């Protein structure tokens, strides 16, 4: 027994010696100088919190950093990996990363960068990737499209496995005569229950449940437009939608570039089984713009944004949406008679969009900005968190930047959010993932890792509506295309 303990201590001692050696003198690297600064890396992964099942974080030093050779040294309590910069990128292999991140569960990975400049090795101050034991949903679905404007060419809805770098297509417009595809939405992050819209030729809403795909024609005489922004009822039997009359105009001088506004809008509920839509005067009012509906996880409350209707476009800067809610009984399809205003944003001169409730029902995240409803074109747009227990609202400062933070969705375990941010270049939205603990405290977010560090620089499309999904979506672009092309579609009826 004593021999065994001694052996164990000896092993530990040798390991520590080895680690020290590794850290100060790795292979034939003899550090000439230790710098008292943390390096600037892209993407900014310094101090981020990542899930244990995330793909490797590849990064590079800032362009201003000049060197002839460089290494990144990764270390946890039990693992260490040395990665040589290749093409100026530190790209740790997937298997090495998996071992490393597993060994760091609920701890940190220390990262030290050493560079060779003028034949001397310089070591930067180490930084950390913090690892959370909370796993993240393995897939994110999003649309890739150029930011805004009116024309387009290729666009599609894709899914990306966050555990690897693999991206696959769900629906692309090249199979459908380059129509617009948009507004993908999932029922409680389920890959088996989703919908998306196709506009123009072959237009309609495709609802996928299991292996069944249904095409709907959703424009009715009673509603101003086909169905637009969706949110599934947790039962999968209903979907709340907005109907909107939307236009966009272009700023001459404002850095926000584009203004998108609703001339009018309402909220309706679609009954999946009966192919009917219905509403209530509280959601279907001419004196107010109602939009961005979302159900609570218990399905008994419908949250939405509401603003007093004004003359558009003249008074576009006066439109301010509040966060409201109304009760809903799915059994009788009846709504409550009163609308609660949960957050009166207009009272503080602000407007709200994209309310999203965490699946555990504890928090509601929303976007707050100066006016209007299309927060993606508002650089001041930031994310806020409302505690549904005490109705307290707090800015998620650690998630926000000087650029737009807008669309967001929760993971199925309520511990992660993915949100769109324009912080990298001010125009093209990228998906950032952040940990939110059970008390609503957020950690520093990280951009969805890519194999090629320059991927985001070269990609001239935005990530639109990033949504967590619990598994791989099985529907294929072919199925979507065939249904869209060949099905006439079911005409949805408005029945109140």
Partner 1 sequence: MKNRFEKVRYIYIVGWIVVFIALFLYMQIKERYSFYFTEQWNIFLYDWPFVKSVLWQPGGLARLIADFLIQFFIIPYLGALISAFLLTSTGILTSIILKRLAPALHLSVLSLLPVISLLFLQFNINYQLSGTIAFLMFLCAFVFYLKIQSLVPRIIYTACFSLLLYWLAGPVASLFVAAILLTELFVNFRSFYFFLLPVALVYLLAIVSLRLGVAGELKYLLLPDGYFTWKLQAGNVIYQPWLLMLAVLLLALLFGQVKLVKKNIQVVGLVIQFVVFGWLAVFNSSFMIDSRHEIFKELDYYMRQENWDKLLERCREIDMNNYLYQNCRNVALAEKGLLAENLFDYKQGDLRSIYLSWDKTPYVSVLLSDVYFSMGHIALSQRMAFESNESVNNYNPRMLKRLVQTNLIYGAYPVAKKYIAILEKTKYYADWAQAQKQFLEKDEAVESDPFLGSKRKCIFPENVLSGKNGFDSDLKHIIDHNPTHRASIQYLGAIYLLLRDTEGFKTMVEKYYNTPALPALPKGFQQGVMLFAANDTTALKYYAISDQVIQSFEAYKNKRNSQNMYLNFLLK
| Largest interatomic CA distance in the chain | 85
Q: Judged by CB under 8 A, which of 67, 165, 284, 316 binds partner 1? A: 316
CA gap 215, 358 in Å, rounded: 29
Can residue 40 be called a binding residue for partner 1 (CB under 8 A)? no
Q: Tokens representing 370?
A: 């100066």
177 is a contact residue toward partner 1 (CB under 8 A) = yes
3-state SS class at 98: helix
Contact between 167 and 158 (Cβ < 8 Å): yes
Quick one: which of 441, 460, 474, 495 contacts partner 1 (CB under 8 A)? 460
429 touches partner 1 by CB under 8 A: no
Which of residues 224, 393, 427, 490 is near partner 1 by CB under 8 A? 427
* Residue 315 or 329 having the CB closest to partner 1: 315
Does 174 bind partner 1 (CB under 8 A)? Our answer is yes
Burial class (CB in 10 A: 0-12, 13-18, 19+), 30: exposed
By CB under 8 A, is residue 93 in contact with partner 1?
no
- 151 part of the interface to partner 1, by CB under 8 A: yes
- Give the 3-state secondary structure of residue 174: helix
- Among the listed ranges 107-115, 308-316, 355-363, 411-419, the one in contact with partner 1 (CB under 8 A) is 308-316
Q: Which of residues 191-250 bind partner 1 (CB under 8 A)?
A: 249-250
Using CB under 8 A as the binding rule, whether residue 88 contacts partner 1 is answered as: no
Task: For the CB of residue 464, give the shortest distance to partner 1 in the complex, in Å.
Answer: 13
Q: How far apart are CA 411 and CA 423, in angstroms?
A: 22
Phi-psi group of 481: left, alpha or beta (phi > 0 → left; psi -120 to 50 → alpha; rest → beta): alpha
Instruction: Work out whether 481 is an interface residue with partner 1 (CB under 8 A).
Output: yes
255 binds partner 1 (CB under 8 A): yes
Pick the stretch among 233-241, 310-318, 323-331, 387-395 that binds partner 1 (CB under 8 A): 310-318
Integer angstrom CA distances of residue 318 from 84, 262, 347, 408: 55, 12, 12, 25
Q: Which residue of 69, 106, 154, 315 would you call a contact of partner 1, by CB under 8 A? A: 154
Token pair, residue 303, equals: 């949250």
Q: What is the 3-state secondary structure (H, E, C) of 52-116?
A: CCCCCCCEEECCCCCCCEEEEEEECCCCEEEEECECCEECCCHHHHHHHHHHCCCCEEEEEEEEE
Question: Minimum distance between the CB of residue 486 and partner 1, rounded to whole angstroms?
Answer: 11
Which residues form the interface with partner 1 (CB under 8 A)?
Answer: 146, 149-154, 169, 172, 174-178, 249-255, 257, 259, 313-314, 316, 424-428, 452, 454-455, 457-458, 460-461, 476-478, 481, 485
């Amino acid at each position: 027994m004593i021999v065994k303990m001694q052996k164990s201590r000896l092993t530990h001692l040798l390991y520590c010696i080895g680690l020290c050696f590794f850290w100060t003198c790795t292979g034939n690297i003899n550090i000439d100088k230790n710098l008292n600064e943390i390096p600037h890396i892209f993407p900014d992964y310094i101090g981020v919190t990542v899930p244990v099942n995330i793909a490797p974080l590849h990064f590079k030093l800032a362009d201003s950093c000049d060197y002839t050779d460089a290494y990144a040294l990764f270390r946890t309590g039990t693992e260490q990996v040395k990665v040589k910069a290749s093409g100026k990128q530190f790209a740790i292999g997937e298997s090495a990363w998996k071992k490393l991140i597993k060994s760091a569960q609920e701890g940190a990975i220390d990262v030290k960068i050493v560079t060779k400049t003028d034949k001397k090795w310089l070591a930067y101050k180490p930084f950390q990737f913090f690892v959370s034991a909370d796993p993240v949903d393995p897939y994110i679905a999003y649309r890739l499209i150029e930011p805004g404007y009116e024309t387009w060419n290729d666009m599609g809805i894709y899914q990306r496995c966050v555990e690897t770098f693999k991206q696959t297509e769900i629906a692309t417009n090249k199979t459908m005569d380059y129509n617009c595809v948009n507004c993908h939405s999932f029922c409680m992050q389920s890959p088996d229950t989703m919908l998306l819209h196709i506009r123009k030729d072959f237009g309609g809403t495709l609802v996928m449940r299991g292996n069944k795909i249904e095409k709907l024609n959703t424009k009715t005489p009673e509603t101003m437009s086909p169905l637009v922004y969706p949110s599934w009822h947790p039962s999968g039997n209903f979907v709340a939608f907005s109907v909107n009359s939307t236009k966009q105009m272009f700023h001459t001088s404002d850095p926000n570039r584009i203004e998108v506004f609703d001339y009018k809008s309402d909220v309706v509920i679609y009954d999946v089984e009966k192919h009917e839509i219905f509403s209530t005067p509280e959601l279907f009012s001419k004196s107010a713009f109602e939009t961005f509906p979302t159900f609570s996880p218990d399905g008994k409350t419908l949250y939405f944004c509401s603003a007093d209707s004004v003359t558009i476009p003249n008074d576009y800067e006066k439109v301010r949406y509040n966060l409201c809610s109304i009760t809903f009984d799915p059994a009788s399809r009846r709504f409550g008679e009163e609308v609660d205003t949960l957050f009166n944003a207009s009272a503080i001169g602000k407007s709200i969009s994209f309310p999203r409730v965490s699946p555990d029902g504890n928090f509601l995240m929303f976007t707050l900005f100066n006016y209007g409803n299309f927060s993606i074109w508002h650089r001041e747009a930031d994310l806020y968190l409302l505690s549904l227990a005490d109705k307290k609202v707090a800015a998620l400062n650690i998630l926000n930047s000087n650029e737009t933070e807008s669309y967001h969705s929760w993971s199925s375990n309520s511990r992660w959010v993915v949100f769109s941010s324009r912080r990298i270049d001010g125009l093209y939205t990228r998906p950032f993932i952040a940990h939110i603990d059970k008390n609503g405290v957020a950690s520093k977010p990280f951009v969805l890792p890519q194999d090629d560090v320059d991927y985001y620089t070269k990609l001239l499309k935005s990530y639109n509506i990033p949504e967590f999904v619990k598994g791989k979506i099985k529907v294929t672009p072919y199925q979507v295309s065939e249904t869209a092309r060949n099905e006439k579609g079911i005409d949805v009826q408005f029945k109140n």
